Amino acid sequence: METIIVKDNIEGGKKAFELIKSGMAEGAKVLGLATGSTPVPMYKAMVESELDFSDMVALNLDEYFGLAADNPQSYHYFMEEQLFSHKPFKETYIPNGLGEEKSECARYDQVIVDHPIDIQILGIGTNAHIGFNEPGTSFDTTTRKVALTESTIESNKRNFDTVEEVPRYAYSMGIQSILSAKKIILMAFGEEKAEAIKKTLEGPVTEEVPASVLQQHGNVVLIVDEAAAKLIQQ
């Protein structure tokens, strides 16, 4: 894994955008996108750029189960607000939070087959989850409905009025789906991510540390600020 240490999340977002820009210049057509606070500066850089995304396809990692696309807490809504309403894409795909489990997972797996991901953007949880693939997730998983852990629910409650409103399930790309991307860019900012980054980079590859599987991928760029990088060997 190539590791790039930046000053803060703003610089990190701009760096990720530059990697997307250069990837598009080299022929990338499909972006795998993430939600949450981590990629927001990257989306801001994309929106403020001159780049035209109208020939690009976007696939999102996940969506809360039980939330409609027009729910302000849904990832559909988030992506429209942060990116898609400002920069139109040729096609955008996000799991349908109201879809029936078996058919929706099969549908999204087919979307990934039909649109192989050139560049996948990832954040990372404090427990090293990627997407909603929590510790213990098999590395050969594809799209499925997952139960969110208490730590993930706790982390996500800042976006809801009460913790009771946080969905307990989500549809998520599996780890095998993520690893199918030609290039992966993982961003992590803040001291609370330092332990997860250390285990991802330097620990054994284990399903108890989902992001550690990225050690087995041939093209990963890790963008971290100084706080998130403080435990890794430099």
Annotated catalytic residue: which of 63, 104, 118, 134? 134
**What does the H/E/C string look like for 138-207?**
CCCCCCEEEECCHHHHHHHHHHCCCHHHCCCEEEECCHHHHHCCCEEEEEECCHHHHHHHHHHHHCCCCC
State residue 42 phi and psi, 5-degree precision.
-65, -45
Is 62 marked active-site?
yes
Strand partners, 3: 222
DSSP state of 133: B
Task: Compute how many other C-beta atoms are within 10 angstroms of the C-beta atom of residue 184.
Answer: 22
Is 134 marked active-site?
yes
CA distances from 49 to 44, 83, 167, 215, 220 (A): 9, 12, 34, 32, 24
Annotated catalytic residue: which of 127, 133, 156, 225? 127
Helix 40-48 to helix 9-25 angle (10° resolution) is: 50
Annotated catalytic residue: which of 129, 133, 156, 225? 129
Residues annotated as catalytic (active site), given as ranges = 62, 127, 129, 134
